[in-house]
Amino acid sequence: MIDDGRDLLETWVADSKGKIRGDEAHDKLVALGYTGTDRTTRRALAEIKAQWRLGSTRVNRPWIAEPGLWLQYDFADGPLVAGRMVVLLVAWLAWSRYRVLVALRDRTAPSVFAGLDRILRIIGGAPTYLLTENVPRNIFGLMSPPSLCAGPAVVPSRTPMPQWFDERHLLAAAS
């Protein structure tokens, strides 16, 4: 019996974005000549709303990087060597347990590009995409001039220095 009014219910659900109540829908159907019960209308409306929600719900899916296409790098604070603070450049490939750690003197563009060059030579190629976090303004000054960017000139690292890392590793990496 409700089959005759099903198209109307679907239209009303879509127009109200799923907010129409069963008693309102039943009153409208009765005004149009429907002779069924309120319970039948509510059950049909519940089915139609469930179907409408399935087609109208926003779905957030997590972003999953493709294996081998993404190389991500970040900086960490290193130990004091000969009175200077060392910067660690840490890089990793998506879907890989392969990590590369390179010691740098500072975060200036020549040091970072030399470190990235060394990392790409170590992994044996260049991925399609390079993703970074916490890029300080002094590396890419042209892309983020101080007049347009607020905040400190050097972004503090959120990555703690590994406990096993000390001066012996720096000397071995430098040679």
pLDDT at position 157: 45
Arithmetic mean of pLDDT, 130-159: 50
The set of residues, in sequence order, having a beta carbon less than 8 Å from that of 80 and lying 6+ positions away, is 86
Mean pLDDT of 4-15: 90
Position 45 scores a pLDDT of 93
In this structure, the number of other CB atoms found within 10 A of the CB of residue 26 comes to: 22
Is 10:48 a contact under the CB 8 Å cutoff? Answer: yes
Q: Per-residue pLDDT for 152 more than 50?
A: no
Closest CA to 41 of 13, 71, 74: 13
Task: Residue 161: name the closest of 172, 152, 170 by CA.
Answer: 170
What strand order describes the sheet that includes 70-81? 99-104, 84-93, 70-81, 129-132
Phi-psi region of 67 (alpha: psi -120 to 50; beta: other; left: phi over 0): beta
pLDDT digits (tens, 9 = 90+) for 40-72: 999 999 999 999 988 877 767 777 777 778 888
